[in-house]
Structure 1
Amino acid sequence: MSPSSWRLRLQHKTGFTYAGKVGASYNEARMSPRNEARQAVLDARVEVWPPARTYRYEDYWGTIVTAFDVQATHEALQVTATATVETLPPGDLLGADGGADWAALAVPENIDRWHELLLPTPRTALDEELTELSERLRGEHPTPHAAALATCTLVREEVEYQAGATGVQTDAVQAWRQRKGVCQDISHLTVGLLRAMGTPARYVSGYLHPSPAAGIGEAVVGQSHAWVEWWVGRWTAFDPTNGIPVGERHVVVGRGREYGDVPPLKGVYSGPKNSGQGVEVTVTRLR
């Protein structure tokens, strides 16, 4: 990695508490960063309490999954993922007039290739108002990439980031109507608008170091974060919540059509009601 790269240490703790004893649970964790062009994973592990044997595989979308089942009786489940990752700044960014044109995106070969990333999903589907907005944004810009950047700007201006304003089941239409949401909602809304204009788009799940001027060795409260990527002849990534290209502060964990494809932890169990889920993310810049 180049001198301008960052080295980040991540710790993500999450889990469930139950309203009584659970006999068995079967779980999947999507909390491990992956090696790719702009990030190198130096080490990564996932630990489970109560202890359980884990196995790893790559899912349909290319996300690393740690699967495990807990057969011992338990009243709480905790999963701790730790990783050290080197990341790069944004690099070779497309100009607003760069990338494929509208005609290229409409070629049957490209529509077939990215079919799943052009369809609405439960959290990205639009209503009539948003569909008209998407058509207007497309009509106002000469290239898909310019329209995508404009979409990110508009969503950021119109939807206020507010922690706790929504839940994991909130969809794009709800976030738009209340003009409040978190990074997940802002990303779902952006993805939905891009797909409606014919641009393949995907939802990205990962982590964000909150400080551009991060001190070396200082552990800070980080975030599970979400952003978007769109295809205009090549994939390009952007963080609409913060209005910035994806760079050294971002760590990718998974991609998919929406949050439902990349939840950090999900599972099934036999027993009493789940009484809460805690999440704690700590990020340290090592260099």
Structure 2
Amino acid sequence: MSRLKVVHTLEFLYENPAHASYNEVRISPLQEMDQTVLSSSITLDPPVPLRHSVDGFGTTVGEFELLQAHTKLHLRAETVVAVQRSAVFVPTMSVEEVCSRTLSSLELAEMMVQTPLTAPPSGVRQLAQDALEPEDVGASALALCQRVGEAIKYVSGVTTVHSTAADAWALGSGVCQDIAHVALGALRSVGIPARYVSGYLHPSREPEKGKAVAGEAHAWVEYFAGRWVGYDPTNLIPIGERHVVVGRGRDYRDVPPLRGVFDGEGSSRMEASVEVTLLA
């Protein structure tokens, strides 16, 4: 088991004063069987009330509005979470069996629909077909995610939050969000339900206890092979005790850390940082 402290800071800066802004944040880790939230807080500057709700995918959403002129908006989320993940038993299921389950489950059916961000180009569809073992969805999904991770080089700055799986595939590079979108498109193209997961990752494979480091807002995938199985195609590893789950959805657009609108002229920009500390 690991106990991690995550501090996520977001700052919105406005070119000209915003008269009002309306915002949603999805940065609070989930309470789950293998992940226990020990403490969690979000502070806002200027200070305004924060309401909490849960969206249709089970992600915690913080909602707030600022109804006075402001030139910046600062948010700091601090969470301590205990993560204890054991090896996942993946039953052997055929594609036909998974398709049958999908027909009777709205949750699975929803995670079979391609989105503009995940729609796979022909090269990705061919990669998925080549990796498919019709009698073993679990082995197929794992091999497929590994091939995607090996095919796309992690390079920051070459894509944006609006880039698609097809964009990243054409470049042969991108960030974790892009690699997850390519993997989702590939999995869904061969009949395997898959969902986008947002969260945090301690960047060190052997973290030093008590040392705060620059962490990562991260993304990976979960595929259905009789049960949901998580895999990190960017780092080519199963989901472990360095991963902290924040939210799930069909793609990035379902789980952005901050979404909002403001009343004002000019542009805005966001600055973000994540700090992760292994406490135990």
TM-score grouping bracket, smaller chain normalisation: over 0.9
Q: Return the match for 1:50 from 46, 49, 56.
A: 46
Which shows bigger deviation, 216-225 or 41-50? 41-50
Q: Separation in 2 of the partners of 1:141 and 1:155?
A: 19
Deviation by residue 1:100-137 (Cα, 9 ceiling, x = unmatched)? 21121121x42341111001011101123322332232
TM-score by length of 1: 0.94
Query: Displacement, 1:166?
Result: 1.0
Matched, 1:110 2:102: yes
SS in 1 for 2:61: strand
Q: Which runs of 5+ in 2 are unaligned?
A: none
Which shows bigger deviation, 63-72 or 43-52? 43-52
**Which residue matches 1:258?**
251
Q: Separation in 2 of the partners of 1:134 and 1:246?
A: 21
Could you tell me which amino acid in structure 1 is paired with residue 154 of structure 2? Y
Q: Return the match for 2:127 from 107, 122, 133.
A: 133
Which shows bigger deviation, 119-128 or 189-198? 119-128
Query: Displacement, 1:150?
Result: 0.8
**Which residue matches 2:153?**
160
Q: Separation in 1 of the partners of 2:147 and 2:270?
A: 33
**Which residue matches 1:180?**
173
Which shows bigger deviation, 159-168 or 260-269? 159-168
Q: Separation in 2 of the partners of 1:121 and 1:115?
A: 13
**Which residue matches 1:84?**
80
Query: Displacement, 1:18?
Result: 0.8
How do 1:230-269 residues align onto structure 2 when only pairs under 5 Å count?
Answer: 230-269=223-262
**Which residue matches 1:190?**
183
Query: Displacement, 1:141?
Result: 5.9
Q: How many residues align?
A: 278
Deviation by residue 1:199-255 (Cα, 9 ceiling, x = unmatched)? 110000000001121111100000000010011111111111111111110000000
Deviation by residue 1:31-68 (Cα, 9 ceiling, x = unmatched)? 00011011100011111111111100011100000100
**Which residue matches 1:71?**
67
Q: Return the match for 2:7 from 5, 11, 15.
A: 11
Q: Which runs of 5+ in 1 are unaligned?
A: none
The answer to whether the 8 Å contact 1:16/1:274 transfers is no
Matched, 1:93 2:88: yes
Identity over the aligned pairs, expressed in percent?
A: 41
SS in 1 for 2:57: coil
Q: Return the match for 2:141 from 139, 148, 156.
A: 148
Q: Separation in 2 of the partners of 1:181 and 1:94?
A: 31
Q: Separation in 2 of the partners of 1:99 and 1:143?
A: 6
**Which residue matches 2:194?**
201
The answer to whether the 8 Å contact 1:99/1:234 transfers is no
SS in 2 for 1:154: helix
Moved over 3 A (4+): none
**Which residue matches 2:33?**
37
TM-score by length of 2: 0.96
Deviation by residue 1:165-191 (Cα, 9 ceiling, x = unmatched)? 211001101101100010000001001
Please provide the CA RMSD for this pair.
1.3
Matched, 1:282 2:275: yes
SS in 1 for 2:29: coil
